[in-house]
Chain A
Amino acid sequence: MSGRADIQIPPSPERWVTDTAGFLSPQALQTLDARLEAYDRQAGHQVIVYIGKTTGGYPIEEFADKAFQAWAVGRKGLDDGVALFIMAEDRTIRVEIGYGLESVIPDILAGRIINDILIPKLKAGDSDGAVNEAVSAILRAISGEAVPAPELKKGRRSAVKDILIILAVIAFAIFFITNPSLALWFLINIFGGGAGSRSGGSWSTGRAGSSRGGSWGGGGWSKSSGGGFRSSGGGFRGGGGRSGGGGASGRW
């Protein structure tokens, strides 16, 4: 067990596609990264590609498991992340699937992506094509599944939201002490009034509508939310997903 702890896991990547081995051509890397970024923002599933040189003698399965855990790919609770690891010098590949997607990308499918797409193309020297097609196959598989709910993105602006809630509670407490009867009247009104009167301005009641709003596209809603994500981080950030060693590996 003590030897296992020594494995070096790089810090969480900043982008959806990371290539520290010069494996992909710059434009292929950019297009793929943009594609996975857009997929993350639209569909909510985090799919990342990490290309390194070597695991330093450790099995790639172990590296992949530890990295997936450290980077928390996928959303918390849904565990819907996928990570494709390629070690250029070791010539090893691992597709690591989050718990939530194990039924959508069973090991057999992950194995076929590796054995039928990645390995033949890598053997032929087409690394751009190999990674691109493998990612396409992964996205195709996920898109056919039934865990949608891209709304869980809320976590990213939760810090601001929490502060606002705390401030509101404090303000209300003061209000309650100074003028209890008016405060009570207020409370009854809010809870009795129903969602109808609030839905216009509120984030929380807009839940069902918000996902629809996102898919309408160019509306004010999706623009403002997109801007929010960008300013609060810009790059890739793990959402708290977990995996349990699902997926497949191979070598070429």
Chain B
Amino acid sequence: MATEGTPAGTARPRRKIGLGLGCLVIVIIGLLILGTWGAGIYNSLVSLDQNVRSQWAQVENAYQRRADLIPNLVETVKGAAGFEQQTYTAVAEARAKVGQIRLDESLLTNSEAFARFQAAQDELGSAISRLLVAVENYPELRATQAFRDLQVQLEGTENRITVERQRFNEAAQAFNTKRMSFPTVLVAGLFGSRFAEKAYFKAQAGAETAPKVKF
């Protein structure tokens, strides 16, 4: 810097300033491009994340619908003379267990808690199936309109659960694929657990299709 005091050196700093300005402009443009690109990725992650959440709400609705039918179901079979008590107490217990699981958004990214939730729901599903199998021995109960309506509702609910679970898995898969693929993973990493990987519903062992509540 000291040598630049000579008259011959006046052109050099000006060129340097010009060069510096040019670099600054390029850096700013680069940052802008990077920022827009990052924002685009962030936004698409947000929208996929919202898809998963709204689909999760549908899954919860379907499960809630089933849970709401249970008091009615238990009341209806209780009325039948000599109905095996342990089948409907098993249903009531399974429902109580499901009720204990705290449902919040963190469940979606915690695969252990998610598996526990699914296990509790599946347990309830199979308790209901066992109850309905037991009802086969009570033709007079099966013939009542109240029971037939209940049965249709239970079938409908199981079907809804299957459908919504499947759609949840599709939404979660779309999110995870996006989140894990190359340039996105860099952006997602910046936000820590905000874009953590989503858990999936797993097919029940030995049951490729929905648990059928059929007669």
Task: Give chain A's interface residues, CB within 8 Å of chain B.
Answer: 1, 3-4, 59, 61-62, 65, 106-108, 110-112, 115, 244-249
Contact = CB atoms under 8 A, between A and B. Distances in A.
B214 to A, nearest CB: 9
29 contacts: A1-B166, A1-B169, A1-B203, A4-B166, A59-B210, A61-B162, A62-B162, A107-B153, A108-B152, A108-B153, A110-B156, A111-B148, A111-B149, A111-B151, A111-B152, A111-B153, A111-B155, A112-B152, A115-B148, A115-B152, A244-B58, A244-B62, A244-B164, A245-B160, A245-B162, A245-B164, A248-B152, A249-B155, A249-B159
B209 A248 contact: no
Contacts of B148: 111, 115
A119 to B, nearest CB: 12
Nearest to B150: A108
B209 A244 contact: no
A88 B49 CA distance: 42
B152 A245 contact: no
B75 interface: no
Contacts, number: 59
B213 to A, nearest CB: 11
A115 B149 CA distance: 10
Nearest to B170: A1
A247 B58 contact: no
Contacts of A249: 155, 159
A62 B208 CA distance: 12
A107 B209 CA distance: 20
Contacts of A65: 159, 163
Please classify how large the interface on chain B is, using the bins under 10, 10 to 19, 20 to 34, 35 or more: 20 to 34
Contact of A244 (B163, B210, B212): B163
A62 B149 CA distance: 22
B210 A110 contact: no
A14 B30 CA distance: 52
B160 A244 contact: yes
A61 B210 contact: yes
Contacts of B151: 111
A4 B62 CA distance: 21
Interface in B201-215: 203, 208-210, 212
A247 B152 CA distance: 9
A247 B155 CA distance: 9
Contacts of B210: 59, 61
Interface string B162-184: 11101001000000000000000
Contacts of B203: 1
Contacts of A108: 149, 152-153
A4 B169 CA distance: 13
Nearest to B212: A59
B152 A107 contact: yes
B149 A245 contact: no
A111 B146 CA distance: 12
A111 B153 CA distance: 8
Contacts of A59: 209-210, 212
A61 B159 contact: yes
B155 A245 contact: no
A115 B143 CA distance: 12
Contacts of A244: 58, 62, 160, 163-164
A3 B208 contact: yes
> Which 5 A-B pairs rank lowest in CB-CB distance, beginning with the nearest?
A111-B152, A245-B163, A107-B156, A245-B160, A245-B159
A107 B155 contact: yes
B147 to A, nearest CB: 12
B169 A246 contact: no
A65 B170 CA distance: 15
A215 to B, nearest CB: 34
A11 B49 CA distance: 31
